[in-house]
Structure 1
Amino acid sequence: MNKLKERWEVNKNWQLIFLLMGIVGLGYSSYKLSLVFLKDYHIGFIFLLSVIIFYILLLITLKIFDKLKDRWDVTYRWELISIFLVFAITGSSSVYVGKPIIKLLGITKDNLSGFAYWTLYIFIGFVFYQILLVIFGWIFGQHKFFWNFEKKMLRRLGFKRFLGE
């Protein structure tokens, strides 16, 4: 356990929750991917392929972590997991928040062309994504990282005057 804490630069036991959540998420993703390939096969084959995919995804993730730790100026490796979790949760949540807003506005595929409907749907999802990113970043203890991330994105979109610059 000490070796695990040392490798991931965990100082307090509560930080291990991010490692656990990352492993569970990676395992679930591996299982779902193996079902795509082996939907009608025996559970043993599915489990074996899940383990193989898990190992491959773990290697890829660790390579990505090494590159992003320096680029994102993150102090601890476990923080990268919390950042990835925030991105994942925010992406899913923005879709769930966007659906009721579209319905509330009375926008359907029947009263708009497909292009206009999907353009509005993506725009509304994008707006809520920006808001939820900062909120979930705060919940996961990464407010500073995501607030800087948001400011950088808003600058690129041309909203400099709203940032006081």
Structure 2
Amino acid sequence: MSDKLSEAQLESFLNETCDSLRGDRDAEAFMEYVIAILFLKRLNDRFNLDREARRSKLMMNGLTPSQIDEDLERREVYRLFVPKIARWDKVKQQKEELGTYLMEAFAEIDAMNPGCLGLLNTIDFNQRTEKGDKLITSADLVELIKDFENLRLSDDNLDF
């Protein structure tokens, strides 16, 4: 049996996550938030692997710790770069105004990765209902981030 995440397992996870967020509302309304966090987590997992491989290579080349740290922040050495504001460890520490924080993080990802074509900037984590309530609260977003915490989404952990 494989320890890798199958497509069916991921789909089930995403559906359960949408259901847990929606309460008595339509789950479809929450899918874009779940997909956005899925993308953020996958981007971070892939970036972390690339970053650690680069760190090992730089250490073998005899660079000092400060040279390594400086090199690891160079955008041009990565296919997809995750700016500090959007790194998973930073995101999961946010508790207040998480919707605003995520929109800033996605804007920064878009700015640093022209291939994203601004698609991430279309998600409004502060969207309001007709009654003026937030469609998804910071507390909901914190729980959503927690749901994704133990999911490993790098290529070597996926079975599809």
TM category (shorter chain) comes to: 0.3 to 0.5
Larger Rg: 1
TM-score w.r.t. the length of structure 1 is 0.33
TM-score w.r.t. the length of structure 2 is 0.34
